[in-house]
C-alpha cells in the first residue's frame, strides 16, 4: 500500500491544525504510522487520498449504519440545500425528527436537538442537576461521554470515589462533583451511592460500553442500576450516542428492556451530519429553557439540512426493522469467523460482541470493565491494525474502541475480512 499523499497531507495539516487532526483519536497515535486522509466513501468502501480502497468497519464511529453515501440520505440532503442552509429559527423538520425520536426511543417523551454527543451529555447533566437541585453525578470508568469538563475525570486516589481532573484545564471544583465507579460492579456502585446519600443528581452510563472497546453489561446489571436510581431519586441517563438506533430501533434500552429517565443521542441521528439530542420524561425536559429555568441553546441546533439527513435515516430505520436482523447476523457471522481463526491457531483472544458492535481484545482475560480491558496488548493491536489495513480492511485506529458494521457489508466482504484477519494474525505472530 502506498500512503505517500496521506503523509504529505498530514505534514501540511500539522502546520495549521493541532496534531494535524480535528479529533485526537484520528491521529493514529495508539496504532502508530500516518493517519489516512480520506477522499471519499461509498457503501461498504472508503478510499484514501492515495486511492487505496478499504472495507469500512467503523463507519465514522457509528453513524453510517446504512453504509456510506446512501442514495436516500444523499437525495434528502441535496434537496434540502436548495432552501438555504440555516435559519436559526424553528422549522417543520424539527417537529418531524422529534416525533420520530419520541416514537422510536422508549424513554423519550420530549427531546431537544443539539449539535454533538458532547453537547447532549453536557446538557443532560446540567438539566438533571437543575431538576434535582443536587450537584454530584456518577459516571463509570472507561465510559466516555464527550469532552465536557465534568466528564474528563479520572478515578481519584484513595476511596476512588473522588474524581480528579484527567485533563489540564479541568478544575478541582468541577472534578469534585463527579463520582466514579467501576463498570459492571454493582456493589461498588451501591457503596458510592451510600457514601453520597441524597447528594447525587444523576448517573450516566453507556448501557453497552464502546469507549473501552465493546463491553457488555453483566446480566441484570442495568436493571439493578435502574432500581437503585428509582429508589434514591437519581436521574438515570443512558448515553446512547453509540448504541442509539444501532442495537435496536429503540437502542440498548429497547434491547435490554431497561428504561432510563433521560437518553442522550448522536451519530446515527444525524446520518453523518453534526447532530446530537437529549430527551426524556416531560417532567424533566420541561425544566429546560425557555419553558424552564435550565439554560441551554445553540445557533445550529435543529439545522434544517442536518434534520433532513436525520429524518431520512430514522424514517428508514423505523420502517425497515429487517436492518437490525441483518446487522446482528452480520456481527455474529464475522465474530464467529474471526474466533474460529483464533482458536485454530490456539490464540484465545477475547472478543466482545453485541449486534453490530464488537471488539477484538489482545488479551485472554474476560473483558468486563476498564481494568480488564487494559490487560490488552495495545502494541499487538497496532501491528494487527496495520496488517489489516495492508489487506484492505479499515478498523478503528485504537484498541479501546468498538467496531460498527453497516448493512452495506455483504457476504463477499465477510469472506475478505476473515481472510485478512487470518493472514494478519499469522503475520503478527510470525506463524
Ligand atoms: P461527540 O461529541 O464526539 O459527537 O460525542 C461524544 C460521545 C458521547 N457519548 C459516547 C458514548 C460517545 O461514544 C461519544 C463519542 N465517541 C467517540 C468514539 N469513541 C467519537 C470519536 C472521536 O472522539 O473522534
For residue 386, the SS3 value is: helix
Which pLDDT band holds residue 159 (cuts at 50, 70, 90)? very low
pLDDT on residue 346: 97
DSSP-assigned states of every residue in 306-320: HHHHHHHHHHHHHH-
pLDDT on residue 388: 98
* 45-92 tens-digit pLDDT: 999 999 999 999 999 999 999 999 999 999 999 999 999 999 999 999
Mean pLDDT, residues 291-320: 98
Q: How many Å lie between the centroid of ligand 1 and the Cα of residue 163?
A: 21
Judge whether 54 counts as a catalytic residue: no
Q: How many Å lie between the centroid of ligand 1 and the Cα of residue 62?
A: 9
Least confident of 152-161, 210-219, 240-249, 266-275: 152-161
Residue 19 region by backbone torsions, left for phi larger than 0, else alpha for psi between -120 and 50, else beta: left
Which residues are CB-neighbours of 103 under 8 A, at least 6 positions away? Answer: 318
Geometric angle at alpha carbon 124, from 319 and 153, rounded to 5°: 120
Q: Catalytic residue among 48, 177, 239, 328, which?
A: 239
**Site to substitute for ligand 1 among 27, 241, 276, 301, most atoms within 8 A of C-beta:** 241
**Site to substitute for ligand 1 among 22, 58, 144, most atoms within 8 A of C-beta:** 144
| pLDDT at 286 > cutoff 60 | yes
- Minimal CA–CA distance to 244: which of 373, 70, 368, 61? 61
- Mean pLDDT, the chain, integer: 96
| pLDDT at 161 > cutoff 60 | no
Judge whether 282 counts as a catalytic residue: no
Helices (H), 320-401: 322-344, 370-373, 378-390
Longest dimension (CA), the chain: 65
Which pLDDT band holds residue 389 (cuts at 50, 70, 90)? very high
Ligand 1, atom 20, lies closest to the CA of: 61
Least confident of 53-57, 170-174, 263-267, 379-383: 170-174
Which pLDDT band holds residue 165 (cuts at 50, 70, 90)? confident
The residues lining ligand 1, judged by C-beta closer than 6 Å to any ligand atom, are 23, 25, 61, 116-118, 121, 144-146, 206, 210-211, 239, 241-242, 266, 276, 401
Point out the ligand 1 atom lying closest to the alpha carbon of residue 118.
2
Cβ of 103: how many Cβ atoms within 10 Å? 13
pLDDT on residue 158: 43
Q: Sign of dihedral through CA atoms 334, 276, 396, 378?
A: negative
pTM: predicted TM-score of the whole model, two decimal places:
0.97
Mean pLDDT, residues 227-241: 98
Point out the ligand 1 atom lying closest to the alpha carbon of residue 267.
4
Ligand 1, atom 24, lies closest to the CA of: 23
| pLDDT at 370 > cutoff 90 | yes
pLDDT on residue 166: 85
Pairwise CA distance, residues 362 & 356, whole Å? 20
| pLDDT at 5 > cutoff 90 | yes
Mean pLDDT, residues 209-233: 98
pLDDT on residue 155: 63
DSSP-assigned states of every residue in 89-139: S--HHHHHHHHHHHHH-TT-SEEEEESSHHHHHHHHHHHHHHHHT--EEEE
Ligand 1, atom 19, lies closest to the CA of: 211
For residue 303, the SS3 value is: coil
Mean pLDDT, residues 271-283: 98
Point out the ligand 1 atom lying closest to the alpha carbon of residue 61.
18
Asked whether the beta carbons of 227 and 265 are under 8 A apart, the reply is: no
Domains, the chain, in order of start with CATH, read 4-69+321-428 (3.90.1150.10), 71-319 (3.40.640.10)
* 305-317 tens-digit pLDDT: 999 999 999 999 9
Pairwise CA distance, residues 404 & 242, whole Å? 9
Point out the ligand 1 atom lying closest to the alpha carbon of residue 402.
19
pLDDT on residue 30: 92
Q: How many Å lie between the centroid of ligand 1 and the Cα of residue 93?
A: 25
Which residues are CB-neighbours of 323 under 8 A, at least 6 positions away? Answer: 65, 66, 316, 317, 407
pLDDT on residue 162: 56
Report the percentage of the chain scoring pLDDT > 90: 96
Phi, psi for residue 211 in degrees, rounded to 5 = -100, 10
| pLDDT at 349 > cutoff 90 | yes
Which pLDDT band holds residue 160 (cuts at 50, 70, 90)? very low
Q: Catalytic residue among 144, 324, 384, 394, which?
A: 144
Ligand 1, atom 15, lies closest to the CA of: 146
* 9-57 tens-digit pLDDT: 999 999 999 999 999 999 999 999 999 999 999 999 999 999 999 999 9
* 96-149 tens-digit pLDDT: 999 999 999 999 999 999 999 999 999 999 999 999 999 999 999 999 999 999
Pairwise CA distance, residues 182 & 372, whole Å? 11
pLDDT on residue 154: 80
Pairwise CA distance, residues 205 & 121, whole Å? 10
Q: Catalytic residue among 134, 136, 249, 267, which?
A: 267
Ligand 1, atom 18, lies closest to the CA of: 61
Residues 65, 69, 351, 332, Cα dihedral to 10°: 60
Judge whether 144 counts as a catalytic residue: yes
pLDDT on residue 164: 77
- Minimal CA–CA distance to 278: which of 237, 225, 246, 233? 237
Stretch (H or E) spanning 229: helix 221-232
Amino acid at each position: 500500500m502506498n500512503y505517500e499523499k496521506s503523509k504529505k497531507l498530514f505534514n501540511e495539516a500539522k502546520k495549521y491544525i493541532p496534531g494535524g487532526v480535528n479529533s485526537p483519536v484520528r491521529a493514529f497515535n495508539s496504532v502508530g504510522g500516518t493517519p489516512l486522509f480520506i477522499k471519499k466513501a461509498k457503501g461498504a468502501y472508503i478510499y484514501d487520498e492515495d486511492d487505496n480502497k478499504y472495507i469500512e468497519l467503523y463507519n465514522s464511529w457509528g453513524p453510517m449504519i446504512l453504509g456510506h453515501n446512501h442514495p436516500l440520505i444523499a437525495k434528502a440532503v441535496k434537496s434540502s440545500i436548495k432552501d438555504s442552509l440555516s435559519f436559526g429559527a424553528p422549522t417543520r423538520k424539527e417537529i418531524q425528527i422529534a416525533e420520530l425520536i419520541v416514537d422510536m426511543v422508549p424513554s423519550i417523551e420530549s427531546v431537544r436537538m443539539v449539535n454533538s454527543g458532547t453537547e447532549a451529555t453536557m446538557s443532560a447533566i446540567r438539566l438533571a442537576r437543575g431538576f434535582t437541585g443536587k450537584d454530584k453525578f456518577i459516571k463509570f470508568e472507561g465510559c466516555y461521554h464527550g469532552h465536557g469538563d465534568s466528564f474528563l475525570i479520572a478515578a481519584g486516589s484513595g476511596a476512588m470515589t473522588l474524581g480528579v481532573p484527567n485533563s489540564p484545564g479541568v478544575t478541582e471544583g468541577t472534578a469534585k462533583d463527579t463520582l466514579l465507579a467501576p463498570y459492571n460492579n454493582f456493589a461498588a456502585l451501591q457503596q458510592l451511592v451510600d457514601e453520597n446519600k441524597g447528594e447525587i443528581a444523576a448517573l450516566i452510563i453507556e448501557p453497552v460500553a464502546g469507549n473501552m472497546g465493546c463491553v457488555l453489561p453483566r446480566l441484570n446489571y442495568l436493571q439493578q442500576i435502574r432500581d437503585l436510581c428509582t429508589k434514591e431519586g437519581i436521574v438515570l441517563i443512558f448515553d446512547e450516542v453509540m448504541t442509539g438506533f444501532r442495537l435496536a430501533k429503540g437502542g440498548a434500552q429497547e434491547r435490554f428492556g431497561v428504561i432510563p429517565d433521560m437518553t442522550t443521542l448522536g451519530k446515527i441521528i444525524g446520518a453523518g451530519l453534526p447532530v446530537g439530542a437529549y430527551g426524556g420524561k416531560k417532567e424533566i425536559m420541561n425544566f429546560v429553557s425557555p419553558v424552564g429555568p435550565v439554560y441551554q441553546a445553540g445557533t445550529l441546533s435543529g439545522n434544517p439540512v442536518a434534520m433532513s439527513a436525520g429524518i431520512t435515516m430514522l424514517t428508514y430505520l423505523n420502517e425497515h426493522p429487517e436492518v437490525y436482523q441483518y446487522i446482528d447476523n452480520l456481527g455474529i457471522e464475522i465474530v464467529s469467523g474471526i474466533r474460529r481463526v483464533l482458536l485454530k491457531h490456539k490464540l484465545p483472544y477475547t472478543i466482545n460482541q453485541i449486534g453490530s458492535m464488537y471488539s477484538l481484545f489482545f488479551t485472554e482475560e474476560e473483558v468486563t470493565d476498564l481494568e480488564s480491558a487494559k490487560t490488552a496488548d495495545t502494541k499487538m493491536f497496532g501491528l494487527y491494525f496495520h496488517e489489516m489495513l495492508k489487506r484492505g480492511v479499515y478498523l478503528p485506529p485504537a484498541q479501546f474502541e468498538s467496531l460498527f458494521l453497516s448493512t452495506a457489508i455483504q457476504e463477499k466482504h465477510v469472506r475478505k475480512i476473515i481472510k485478512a484477519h487470518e493472514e494478519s494474525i499469522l503475520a503478527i505472530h510470525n506463524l
